[in-house]
Amino acid sequence: MNLKPLYMNVIVKPLADETITKFGIVIPDTVSKEKPEKGEVVAVGEGRLLDNGQIAPLKVKVGDKVMFKKYSPEAIKLDDQEYLVIKEQDIMLIFE
């Protein structure tokens, strides 16, 4: 992938959720038309530009699995793969 996000932007590969009903039926993510809320970080920008001109590094790093606000990302497609561009401030948590 040849994408380098600028400043506080993060590129995330969406993770599909599958729901299993109490009867064992798997409902794939494609059934829901909602945007994903989880993903894996694949690229990060250099950081947040501070008022004094310095750059504060981002907290997330490549490989982190994150949860983000549902309607905040911008979707892009590269080589038949969908990615999401998210501002770090819209990432709510990192799964450990």
pLDDT tens, position by position, 13-45: 988 765 555 666 666 655 555 555 899 999 999
Strand, coil or helix: what is 89? helix
| C-alpha–C-alpha distance, residues 84 and 73, integer Å | 6
What φ, ψ does residue 11 adopt, rounded to 5°?
-105, 130
Residue 80 binned pLDDT confidence (cut-offs 50, 70, 90): confident
Can you identify the CATH homologous superfamily of domain 9-95? GroES chaperonin (2.30.33.40)
- Whether the CB-CB separation of 68 and 39 falls below 8 Å is answered with yes
In the predicted structure, residue 78 carries a pLDDT above the cut 90: no
- Whether the CB-CB separation of 63 and 57 falls below 8 Å is answered with no
Q: Which H or E element spans position 67?
A: strand 65-68
Residue spans of the domains in the chain: they are 9-95
Task: Tell me the pTM.
Answer: 0.76
Q: How far is CA 79 from the centre of its chain?
A: 18
